[in-house]
Amino acid sequence: MGKISPPPAASPLLLRGRTSPLTRRRFIEGLAAGTTVASLLPPLSASPARAAGHARSHGLPELTGTRFDLSVEPTRVNVTGNPRTATLVNGLMPGPILRWREGDTVTLRVTNRLRVQTSIHWHGIYVPAGMDGVPGISFRGIDPGETFVYRIPVRQSGTYWYHSHSGFQEQTLLSGPLIIAARDSDPIGADREYVIFLSDWTDEDPETVYYHLKTSNGYYNHHRLTAADFVHDSRAKGLLATLRDRFEWSTMRMDPRDILDVTGRMTGGTYTYLVNGQAPAANWTGLFRRGERVRLRFINGSSMTYFDVRIPGLGMTVVAADGSNVEPVTVDEFRIAVAETYDVVVTPNEDVYTIFAQAMDRSGYARATLAVREGLTASVPPMDPIFSRTMTDMGMSMPGMESGPRKMPGMSMPSEQGDDMPGMDMSGMDMSGMNMQGTHTSGKKMPAMQHGMSGMSDSSGAAPKARAHARPNASGQVAYPQPQEVRLALGPEVVSIAKNPTGRLDTPGDGLDGNGRRVLVYNDLVRLDGGPQNTPFVTRDPDAEVLLHLTGNMERFIFGFNGLTYDQSEPVRFPHGQRILVTLINDTMMEHPIHLHGMLTELENQKGKLRPLKHTVNVKPAEKLQYYVNATELGRWAYHCHLIYHMDAGMFTSAVVA
């Protein structure tokens, strides 16, 4: 994908807005005020929602019907006190809530008023391939001045969103909520509902952010371990153990405090975290009456930020994940990966609550308020402590070891390859330190990159080979297929291979484990109803398997699938009509939210035919997980990490259903 070039002096978008910046800015400021007014308590008679099963949303402008006119335009906004230009839909940040109805066919006329190409992708939506909105994959993009007409038969319901798939426009807030009413009754009765759209805003040009990431490892990471930490750790763990720990992390080209690549302004980074386009100080507020059932549709529309969400004092009952209804599960907190959506129902009995969404790396938070009237605020809790990555994240866990005393993890050297020693395969790695500027300095010969991928076409175009698939054994553990058919070679693109990846669907993840709160885990998700009409094979054994390693070199900011960036990779083949079991193994030490376009996936969390449907699946460091793809949708579909800079740095491929 993108070539790296120095940051431009100013974005072309900044200078060439169609409308005068001042006019636009006034409009946005006026809109912010208008939004507040619109969120005033509507009369209860306006929301006979529980009976009808269709609650209304308040607080964000919305468009309903079957014909939509959307304009993508440069718009002056002011999030931090510094005017900047965003690329917005209809001048709104986030874009208008689009309300569709299952069974309708909607047409959306999208006019590009930017000076560069644009696109809109409908995230998690079953669409004809040509309507998916990914330039170079499913259509050619929308040129400046052009109007593209999307035509979509709506085959599902729930909470989704839309965003640009061009350049870094998504980072400049070209995104918005997409809510689809069920054709029949909605099982989630609510008196009132709000969309809670989370995003990460930067005053920097996204090209500049990417340039920093590519050229300066850890540019935004101000949580790095310091000399003081070293002294502290040496006292606690002993000098040798601390030295060894530091050595291990340095050979991994990772810092254990490297949690998110781009961080918040609170710790010296660049992001301001927004709820419904509002910074924490602006405090977006949704109103309710005591005792009401309030549905909150959380959408993580950010470019790079995972959020840990809670409403102190208020239990949240999760009722839908990624748009599909799930059996209600009540939690104190949930982690929402980039591009995921969760619907929760709350029943507030106090006057005011804070919706608190701290960035996973604790570098800032988004915040909003639920209150019985305007002007009330509840206290904002302190952020949780900063955490460090663990041996589990390094793929070095083994039974009984996770919580036991630390042992020297096994490092598989070349002569040991193929043994059962747990730990990272570091053969081929430059062990001499952090200096790896494009050359291999260790003197070891770098093995040739192997391109063989299970279930992927090779040069002969052979179809995927069916293999025995995973089945739960007597103890309920899924026996994963062994990844022998993907031979990864360590090199610049792959600096680590998790040799002992584990299932982690039963834990909420780093920084949340053991925090004393009940935190949602993927194993909690049980599908409630049929979901989209397009997942007809839910009890069938898979016809084929695909294995994808999520690989990367954090120091050089290169990412990929199976060691290959987009330029190098072949499309994944999903034969039409087949059911494919996909195994994802995360060989990196960061989370990746993996998104398949075109088809929802059934996450294998051992719920049988009630596996939850997901469009975006978070894969934790050194995690191995599986899902099923029912290849019902013909065409070529994007398949990628939804962290926008990871995607551009190579963790992007396509899937062909033919």
CA end-to-end distance (rounded Å), the chain:
24
CA angle 242, 243, 249 (to 5 degrees): 90
297 near Cu ion (CB under 5 A): no
- Concatenate the DSSP letters of all residues of 168-195 into one string: TGGGGT-EEEEEEE-SS--SS--SEEEE
Distance CA 228, CA 221 (A): 17
Contacting residues for 349 by C-beta, under 8 A, at least 6 apart: 290, 291
Least distance (Å) between residue 2 CB and Cu ion: 15
* Nearest distance from C-beta of residue 552 to Cu ion, angstroms: 8
Q: Given the complex with Cu ion, which of 469 and 646 has the nearer CB atom? A: 646
Report the run of H or E that residue 559 belongs to, with start and end.
strand 558-561
Nearer to Cu ion, 210 or 288 (CB): 210
The mark string for 394-433 relative to Cu ion (x by CB under 5 A, - otherwise) is ----------------------------------------
Among 643, 655, 656, 657, binds Cu ion (CB under 5 A): 643
Site of tokens 């005020």? 33
> Which region among 194-202, 431-439, 568-576, 646-654 touches Cu ion (by CB under 5 A)?
646-654
Count of residues interacting with Cu ion (CB under 5 A): 5
Cβ nearer to Cu ion, comparing 76 with 592: 592
Instruction: Please say which residue, 165 or 592, places its beta carbon nearer to Cu ion.
Output: 592
Decide: 407 and 477 in contact? Cβ < 8 Å.
no
Q: Among 25, 469, 592, 615, which residue sits at the site for Cu ion (rule: CB under 5 A)? A: 592
Nearest-approach distance from CB 155 to Cu ion, in angstroms: 29
Closest CB 640 distance from Cu ion, rounded Å: 8
**Toward Cu ion, which CB reaches closer, 73 or 258?**
258
- Binding part of the chain for Cu ion, among 133-141, 352-360, 589-597, 599-607 by CB under 5 A, reads 589-597
Residues with Cβ within 8 Å of residue 441, at least 6 apart in sequence: 430, 432, 435
Phi-psi category of residue 256: left, alpha or beta, with phi > 0 → left and psi -120 to 50 → alpha = alpha
CB of 619 to Cu ion, least distance (A): 9
Least CB distance to Cu ion at residue 593 (A)? 7
Cβ neighbours, 10 Å, residue 178: 25
Q: Which residue has the tokens 């553990």?
A: 477
> Residues 559 to 588: which contact Cu ion by CB under 5 A?
none
User: Which run of H or of E encompasses 614?
Assistant: strand 613-614
Instruction: Output the smallest distance, CB 641 to Cu ion, in A.
Output: 3
- Closest separation in Å from C-beta 594 to Cu ion: 8
Say which residue the tokens 């949580």 belong to. 223
Of 213-221, 251-259, 624-632, 641-649: span binding Cu ion (CB under 5 A):
641-649
Going across the sheet that includes 635-641, the strands are 572-574, 652-657, 635-641, 592-596, 616-619
Contacts of 619 (CB under 8 A, 6+ apart): 550, 584, 586, 591, 592, 593, 594, 625
Nearer to Cu ion, 383 or 625 (CB): 625
Segment lying near Cu ion (by CB under 5 A), choices 240-248, 257-265, 366-374, 636-644:
636-644
Convert residues 219-248 into a mask of x (bound to Cu ion by CB under 5 A) and - (unbound). Answer: ------------------------------
CA atoms of 473 and 480, how far apart (whole Å):
10
Does residue 597 bind Cu ion (CB under 5 A)? no
34 membership: H or E segment, kind and range: helix 21-38
- What CA–CA distance (Å, rounded) separates 634 from 375? 51
Candidate segments 99-107, 339-347, 517-525, 638-646, binder of Cu ion by CB under 5 A? 638-646
From CA 536, how far away is CA 531, in angstroms rounded? 10
Residue closer to Cu ion, measured from CB, 295 or 592: 592
- Helices (H) and strands (E) in the chain — how many of each? 7, 33
Closer CB to Cu ion, 422 or 593, in the complex: 593
Answer whether 111's CB lies under 8 Å from 147's CB. yes
Among residues 392 and 618, whose Cβ is nearest to Cu ion? 618
Compare residues 469 and 592 and give the one whose CB is closer to Cu ion.
Answer: 592
> Measured from the CB of residue 286, what is the shortest distance to Cu ion in angstroms?
32
Are 68 and 109 in contact, with CB atoms under 8 Å apart?
Answer: yes
Candidates 137, 641, 644, 649: give the one binding Cu ion (CB under 5 A): 641
Distance CA 481, CA 479 (A): 7
Cβ(44)–Cβ(289) below 8 Å = yes
For 237, the enclosing helix (H) or strand (E) is helix 227-237
Q: Which stretch binds Cu ion (CB under 5 A): 202-210, 253-261, 455-463, 639-647?
A: 639-647
- Verify binding: residue 646, Cu ion, rule CB under 5 A: yes
CB of 330 to Cu ion, least distance (A): 30
Which is closer to Cu ion, CB of 194 or CB of 306?
Answer: 306
Task: Note whether 624 and 480 are within 8 A (CB).
Answer: yes
In the complex, the residues that contact Cu ion under the rule CB under 5 A are 592, 641, 643, 646, 651
